[in-house]
Amino acid sequence: MARKGAQSSEVRAQLVEAANQLIREHGCHAVTAGRLAERVGLKRQIVHYYFGTIDELFVAVLQQEGEKARARFVQALDADQPLRTCWEQANNASAHLLEFMAIAMHSESVKRELTRYADEFRDIQTEALRRYLERRGVAPSVPPVVTALIMASISQAFALEEALGISKGHAETLDYIEEVLSAFEATGKSFATAQS
C-alpha cells in the first residue's frame, strides 16, 4: 500500500455517501469500486486510494451511520414511551442493519465494528427500559434486555421476510405488537408469561 487520501477530503466523503446510497437502494452486493467511482465521476482505483480496501470503506460507512443512528436514538428514547421508540427505531433501521450484517459475515473488520454497535444499542435500550420501569415504580415482569432483544428480533425478521416477499402472519403479529406496546404503557408488563 502506498499513500492514502486525507480523512478530510471531499471526494472521500462523497465515496462514503455513494456507498451508503448504493446499500440502501440495491443492497451491499451492489457496492463495487466501479459503481462507486461512477457516482463520483472518477476511475474505480480512487476507492483504493482513499480506503485501501472496500472493507475499510464499509467500516467508514458503518461508523458514520452508526453515530447518526445513535444520536437519533438516544434523543428519541428520552421521550416518554421507550418501548414504542425501540420498536419504531428498530423498524426503521432493520433493513439497513441487515445489509451490514451480510457484509460482516465475511469481513472481520466490519464484524468488529458492528458487534460494538450492536452491544451498545442493546445496552442503551435495556437501560432506557429499566429506568422507565424504575421511574414508574414497576418491577420488570421480564428482564428489560429480553424485552429489547425480542423487539429487535421481530423487527429484524420482518425486514428479512419483507425483503423476500414472505408475509404470512405479519398482520396478526403487528396487531399483537400493538397490544404489547399498549399493555406496557399501561402496566409496565411486556412479554410476561403465565408463570411470572
The answer to whether the Cα torsion of 159, 163, 166, 167 is positive or negative is positive
Q: Which does 124 bind (CB under 5 to 8 A by kind): DNA, a copy of itself, none?
A: none
Nearer to DNA, 42 or 150 (CB): 42
d(CA 143, CA 82): 15
Q: Which does 60 bind (CB under 5 to 8 A by kind): a copy of itself, DNA, none?
A: none
Complete DSSP assignment for 29-81: GG--HHHHHHHHTS-THHHHHHHSSHHHHHHHHHHHHHHHHHHHHHHHHTSS-
Least distance from DNA to the Cβ atom of residue 53, Å: 3
Nearer to a copy of itself, 46 or 114 (CB): 114
Q: Which of residues 108-127 bind a copy of itself (CB under 8 A)?
A: 111, 114-115, 118-119, 122-123, 126
Least distance from a copy of itself to the Cβ atom of residue 104, Å: 5
140 SS3 class? coil
Contact 170, 158 (CB under 8 A): yes
**135 HSE (CA, 13 A, CB side):** 11
Distance from CA of residue 12 to its chain's centroid? 23
Nearer to DNA, 21 or 92 (CB): 21
Distance from CA of residue 169 to its chain's centroid? 23
Footprint of a copy of itself (CB under 8 A): 27, 29, 101-102, 104-106, 111, 114-115, 118-119, 122-123, 126, 142-143, 145-146, 148-150, 152-154, 156-158, 160-161, 163-166, 168-170, 172-173, 176, 179-180, 182-183, 186-187, 189, 191-196
Binding site for DNA (CB under 7 A): 1-3, 5-6, 9, 11, 31-35, 37, 42-49, 52-55
